[in-house]
Structure 1
């Protein structure tokens, strides 16, 4: 499954790599956050892989890989973007 080379290369520092690996291995990390960290780590370790190949290895879609690659390049953050609308009145 070949695809075009991603236009957003991921380059991590040693500290960022260590933090992301810790998120992936921690038992208390939310699975959505762990998936995002795995995507970024895979993109860094294998820059020649397309988004489709990373998605297949991670068990997600290429749309998700594109989203989190773009967000990492823009913000260096794996948290959700703020949502529109009024704040919650009750805690979850």
Structure 2
């Protein structure tokens, strides 16, 4: 789990099969309340505005290649959302 203002979190995407699992994984990893809903759109708004200042400086996406092969649209949307925050560095690890 991540503490507020953490510098880095690693998120393993290799076993994600649907949007709600992905959103719940980020909610859990960032210790966010459930009020953000179970959609990428609502999570994306949080990444852009970061009202609770819980977004780390860097997110390492583990298993991204496997995830993007099985869910290409979801993977593309996730990257789009993460890149809305100019302070966030996204590192993709395929192994």
TM-score where L is the length of structure 1: 0.29
Larger Rg: 1
Higher relative contact order (CA 8 A, sep 6+): 2
Higher helix share: 1
TM-score where L is the length of structure 2: 0.28
